[in-house]
Amino acid sequence: MSDSVTCPICGAPAVEIAYGYPSLELFDAADRGEVVLGGCVIGDFSPTHMCTNEGQHEFTP
């Protein structure tokens, strides 16, 4: 999880969205701001990344 992705909309650094039931490691990573917990529901449109800007753009690189 060391690949750095930037938001195509605003150019801010983006973090991965983790779907499904989060593990303890995932909670720790979320605390550090390395991932965003996306919850258990995966819809038709499920972006894989969310930017850290205020807009919180969701996208799939």
7 touching Zn ion, by CB under 5 A? yes
Closer residue to Zn ion, CB minimum distance, 9 or 42: 9
Q: Is-contact 56 17, C-beta < 8 A?
A: no
10 touching Zn ion, by CB under 5 A? yes
61 touching Zn ion, by CB under 5 A? no
E strand or H helix that includes residue 17: strand 13-19
CA angle 41, 5, 35 (to 5 degrees): 40
Stretch that binds Zn ion, among 10-18, 21-29, 34-42 (CB under 5 A): 10-18
Binding residues for Zn ion (CB under 5 A)? 7, 9-10, 12, 51, 53, 57
